[in-house]
Amino acid sequence: MWKWLHPYANPETTYRFTGKIKPWFSWASFILLTIGLVWALMFAPADYQQGDSFRIFYLHVPAAMLSMGIYVGMAIAALSSLVWQLKMADASAAALAPIGAVFTAIALITGAAWGKPMWGTWWIWDARLTSELILLFLYLGVIALHNAFDDKQLAGKAAGILSLVGVINIPIIKYSVEWWNTLHQGATVSKLGKPAMSLEMFWPFLFCFFGFSFLVGALMCTRFQTELLARNRMRPWVRQLVEQESK
Amino acid sequence: MHTPTQLSYRSAFMLILKRDLTIAFRHKDDVINPLLFFIIIVTLFPLGIGPESATLARIAPGIIWVAALLSCLLSLDRLFKSDYQDGSLEQMLLSPHPVFILTLAKITAHWLLTGLPVLLVAPLLAVLLHLPEPAYGALMLTLLLGTPVLSFIGAIGVGLTVGIKKGGVLLSLIVLPLYIPVLIFATSAVDTAALSLPYSGQLAIIGALFFGSLTLAPLAVGAALKVSTN
State the complex-level ipTM.
0.79
Q: What is the pLDDT of residues B173-197, one digit of tens each?
A: 899 989 988 998 899 899 889 888 8
Coil, strand or helix at A51: strand
Residue A88: per-residue pLDDT: 84
User: Which residues on B lie below 8 Å from A162 (Cβ)?
Assistant: 156, 160, 174
Tell me the C-alpha distance between A156 and A89, whole Å: 9
Q: What is the pLDDT averaged over residues B2-20?
A: 80
The residues, ordered by sequence, that sit 6+ positions from A185 with a Cβ below 8 Å of its Cβ are A177
Q: Are A139 and A54 in contact (CB under 8 A)?
A: no
| pLDDT digits 0-9 by tens, A25-65 | 999 999 999 998 888 888 777 776 777 777 888 889 899 99
With pLDDT > 70 as the criterion, what percentage of chain A qualifies? 89
Q: Is the pLDDT of residue B1 over 80?
A: no
d(CA B224, CA B195): 42
pLDDT at A138: 92
Looking at residues B80-93, what average pLDDT do you find?
87
d(C-alpha B135, C-alpha B61), whole Å: 9
Contact B160 A162 (CB under 8 A): yes
pLDDT at B82 over 90: no
Confidence band of A9 (pLDDT split at 50, 70, 90) = confident
As a whole number, the mean pLDDT across chain A is: 84
* Chain A residues with a Cβ under 8 Å from any Cβ in chain B: 82, 130, 134, 137-138, 140-141, 144-145, 148-149, 151, 154, 157-158, 161-162, 164-166, 169, 172
Q: What is the average pLDDT across A78-88?
A: 86
Tell whether the model's pLDDT for residue B3 goes beyond 60: no
Taking contacts as CB-CB distances below 8 angstroms, the residues of chain B near A158 are 160, 224, 227-228
pLDDT band at B2 (very low <50, low <70, confident <90, very high): low
Quote the pTM value.
0.84
Between helix B167-194 and helix B53-76 the angle, nearest 10°, is 150
Please tell me which residue of chain A has the smallest CA distance to B212: A168
Is residue A195's pLDDT more than 60? no
Which chain B residues have a beta carbon less than 8 Å from that of A137?
A: 173, 176-177
Q: Rounded mean pLDDT of chain B?
A: 88
**For A145-159, what is each residue's pLDDT tens digit?**
988 888 888 888 889
Mean pLDDT, rounded, for A63-91: 89
- In angstroms, the CA B205 to CA B208 distance is 5
* Cross-chain residue pair A161–B164, CB shorter than 8 Å: no
Chain B (180-199) residues lying within 8 Å, Cβ to Cβ, of chain A: 180-181, 184
